[in-house]
Structures are given as structure tokens and as C-alpha cells.
Amino acid sequence: MSISRSASAASIRWSADGPRGIADEVAAASGSGWTTPVAAARAAGGASTIPAEITLERRRQVSRPDPRRRASMVGVRRNDSPRSSSCLSVCLRSRRTVLGGAAAARGRGWDLHLCQMCGTFVAAGLTRPQAEHLNPTLMRRFRAWHLPESVPLFLILALTVAGCGAEKARRSPRVPILVARAEQRNVPYEIEATGTVEPIQSASITAQVGGLVTKIAIHEGEEVRAGQVLFRLDPRPFQAAEARAAALLAKDRAQSETARLDLRRAETLAGQQLIAESDLEQKRAAAASMAATARADSATWAVARLDLANATVRAPVAGKTGDLRVHVGDLVKANETATPLVTINQLRPIRVRFTVPQGDLSALRKQQERALRVDVAPSDRDSVWVQGHLAFVDNAVDPQSGTLLLKAEFANQDGALWPGQFARVKLRLYEQNGATVVPSAAVASSQNGSYLFIVRPDTTVEARTVQVDRTYRDLTVIGSGVTPGETVVTDGQLRLSPGAKVVIRAPGGSGGRARARDGRASGNANASAENAR
């Protein structure tokens, strides 16, 4: 297919689907200077195949012939295989096959390859089997470049990149940073964990006797004391049972006393040989039986009195009541543990249970002789820490999790800790004297370990590998690599490289208002260090 310049502008759309996909779309690329009369003729003639190669010829309008300026001819070979990742292109000027090249027009499904014989770019289709719209403006943008064979293209590109890099290096600005000073401090050794608040005493109140609820003497969420009345059940059935047991006890006691007197008289008569020995034995058995009956009646009476007392439900412990599960008029069963009447939790004092790794067991045992301090902060009040002491250490390590259970006790006078609440826990074992610390924001990690940037006196930075022992709140304890007094970078590390020039900016300021400390970076870092802490 031959494409020549004309007054009208057009573009070509072709497809591998046959003659139905061939169409001549006029004014699709207005002003581009290309036309497609052959495509229109093929569409009208009902061509059944599409040429594998299309020659695009750009005709120049020049006033006089110039042998150095040759018409650009591009060989286009359409690759309709969806599995092919590259294709061969034939330059129609040199008749040479071109493979590979720069993907200058890959976004539209075309690749441009440079022919080394004549310096012409060859446009080759990639893997676009669907109908393709050839944009003449795009093809004009990548028209042929005529390069001398003595000047390789890669040499020109290398010189260009080198020149841009040198110019960029000359214009490299100073990087604005924030700094702090490495210090020597006494840092506590703490074990951090997550714990759960639990009451020291908790009671689920149930009725020890069944009956009808006649009175509720408390409100939900009320603070109660030990022994305070909570509920009252209907006492009349228990009063009647107690009276019946008391009457039966009195009757049996009287009969027991009569039997005892009969036995005494029988023993007197037996001493005078006036009654038989068998009669005496019967009197003794009757007296013993009546005495036992009286004792049984006494126990029955005690149970009746206890049931009558249990009809009044009292608080076994002091604490705060929870949700009430019964109302006046409800019939409750005795010892119904599934549905307690109310639950009372002791809030003062209170405990926090937490676990620590078994690796800390040796350090814990060394310090267990003295009272160990424990600080907790509720999850909703992270800035407020409550101080307590370690109260319990479990006697075994959990083999499944490899942790040791601990419990700490707190006075909780202000009620900051609540049962069931999650809390942050810090167990303080000892205090490390003279530790070198830096702000944790200054320490970064890489595949080779932890590192940070040190600011030199000439306002350049040095990347230095450090050994991190542990962290304490917003500070990091450095084992080696940094000495106290050195200035470290706390903000701006992502833009730094070893040897880069920096400018120390004031905290909260922008990089445009940074003030350079030429040769005085270490001496003027105090204010930034205080803000970093």
C-alpha cells in the first residue's frame, strides 16, 4: 500500500478480520499530511486479505533538490500473533532486516527500530491482533533520522547522560534536616507487655433458697459493702418451716427427758432386784433413741433458721454491682449459677494480669527479692500511668506459649482501671547507668542492620552502623557506634546519602527557611535535640 501526500488528510484503520475491517476514515488526523487512496480502493473492491507490509512514504516539498536530504521510507511489518513478544521489520531503503530497538511508540502497539545501514527508523507492530488505528501524527513524530555511520547512537546518548549528571551534581542543593544530640543517661530496664485488668474478688450472687423476690435493695452500678442487703425473698414459707422444726424439737426433747427419767427409775429398781434385766435394757434403748431424735430435730430447726436467713440475700464482698438480672415478683431457684442475680466486682484494690517471655525469667528472679515496680496505662488513657507493684509470679512457664504469668496489684483509688480492660504494662527490673541514648526517630534499618546519620563539623553527613540494645519510650539505647555528644539526624534521612551537604532547620520550619550552620553543626544542635526529646 502506498501513501502519498495530498491536500486532504486521512488515516488508515486495518484489521486481520478481512475486508469488513478495512475502512478509510477521512479527517481522523486532520492536518497530518497523509492520505490512503489504496485502502479506499481495497475497501471498495472487497479485498479479502491484508498486506503484511505497508510502505509509508513522506514526500517533502522543497524549492530545490538537495542530495543530502532523502525521503523517509519506513518499512512496517504487522505481527498478528498474540503470543509473539517481538517481530522482524524490513527497512525498504536498505532491504535489511531489523530486530530489536527502542520502544518509542509502544503505547499504541508499535515499536521503532533503527536501521544501521541508512539511519532510518522501522516501525514494527507488537502483539496487537485487534484492529489498529495508524496515527499519521505519531508516525510523523518518529520519522526517519539520518545519522552518520561513524557516530554510534549509544555514544551520543552516553555523552548526553553524563553531561546531565554533571550539571545535576553541580546544582545539588543542601538537604534540610532536624538533628539531636546523643546523650548519656540512666535508663530503666523495663519489660513491656499487654495485660488485662481483673478484680481481686468477684462474686456472682445467686439465691441459696428458692422463692419469690419481694424487694431489691440496691441499684445497678452501686457501690456496696460486705454484708449489705441486696435482695429479699418472701420469708413466710421459711418462717413456717422454722416454727414447725422448733415445735418438733420441743416435743422430742420432752419425750427424751421422759425416757431419761424412766431409765433412772428402772436402774434404781434393778439395784433392788425388783425388775428383770431385760426391762432395764429396754429403758436404756428408749432413752438413747429419744435423745438422738431430739438432736436430729435440733439440726432440722437449724436448717430452717438458715433458710429463713438466706431469704435475705446479702453482699459477700465489697465492690461495684453490675447488671440486675431479676425484678420484684420474679420467682428464683436455689443455686441457679447459670443466671446470677447480680455480679459484684471489687475495684479497690485491683489486679492486672500479663505475661512475659521466658527469656526474661532469669532477670526477673534476680530482682524478685525486692518489690518490683509495675506501671500500667489503660488503652483509652495512654498518657496517664498508674503505679503498682508485682504481686504474683506463676510457678511454671506455659509450654504452649513459652510465657510466664504475672500479676500486679494497684490501689486504684481514682478508678482508672476497670475489670476486663486491656492495658499497657511496664515492669521495671533495674536501672542502667550511663547508657548512650538517641531519639528513636534517628535510627533506621537496612539489610545490614541498624544505622543512623552523623552530622560532621563541615555540615556533611556520615552513615554509621550502630548496635541497638533496646528502646525506652521514645529513646533508643545504643550499644556501640555512637558516642555521647555527637549530632545525629532525626528527620530528613530519606533524602540523605553519605557525604551529602545538609542544612539544619529549626523544628517546625520548612526547608525553604532553613539556616545553614557552616562548620558549627555540632555546637548549635542543642535546641533541636531538646525538641527531639
Residue found under cell 459484684: 344
Nearest to 122 by CA among 157, 149, 87: 87
Residue 272 pLDDT? 86
Show pLDDT as tens, one digit a residue, over the chain (533 residues).
333 333 333 333 433 343 333 333 333 333 444 444 444 334 444 433 334 333 333 333 333 444 443 333 344 433 443 333 334 444 444 545 544 433 434 444 445 555 545 554 445 443 333 333 333 434 444 443 434 444 455 455 555 555 555 544 455 688 999 999 999 999 998 899 999 999 999 999 999 999 999 999 999 999 999 999 999 999 999 999 999 999 999 999 999 999 999 999 999 998 888 888 888 999 999 999 999 999 999 999 999 999 999 999 999 999 999 999 999 999 999 999 899 999 999 999 999 999 999 999 988 988 888 889 999 998 766 668 899 999 999 999 999 999 999 999 999 998 889 999 999 999 999 889 999 999 999 999 999 899 999 999 999 999 999 999 988 889 999 999 999 999 999 999 999 999 999 999 887 655 444 444 444 444 444 434 344 33
> Do the beta carbons of residue 430 and residue 410 sit within 8 Å?
no
Measure the CA–CA gap between 12 and 517, rounded to whole angstroms: 65
CB 19 within 8 A of CB 48: yes
CATH of domain 344-431: 2.40.30.170
Any idea which architecture 205-342 has in CATH?
Beta Barrel (2.40)
Q: For the whole prediction, is pTM greater than 0.75?
A: no
Q: Prior bond to 349 cis, omega within 30? A: yes
In DSSP notation, 191-205 reads EEEEEEEEES-EEEE
Residues 532 and 439: their CA atoms lie apart, in Å, by 7
How, if at all, do strands 53-57 and 2-3 pair? parallel
Distance CA 181, CA 363 (A): 31
Other Cβ atoms closer than 10 A to 73: 18
Q: Where are the domains of the chain?
A: 2-156, 176-183+434-532, 205-342, 344-431
| Bridge partners (DSSP) listed for residue 285 | none
Residue/partner pairs of 446-450 with CB below 8 Å, 24 or more apart: none
Q: What is the pLDDT of residues 166-214, one digit of tens each?
A: 544 455 688 999 999 999 999 998 899 999 999 999 999 999 999 999 9
Instruction: In whole angstroms, give the CA distance from residue 218 to residue 343.
Output: 12
Instruction: Please tell me if the domain spanning 176-183+434-532 has the same topology as the one spanning 344-431.
Output: no
Supply the mean pLDDT for the chain. 74
pLDDT digits (tens, 9 = 90+) for 418-477: 999 999 999 999 889 999 999 999 999 999 899 999 999 999 999 999 999 988 889 999
Pick the CATH number of 176-183+434-532 from 3.40.50.2300, 3.50.50.60, 2.40.420.20, 2.160.20.10: 2.40.420.20
CA–CA separation, 419 vs 408, rounded Å? 14
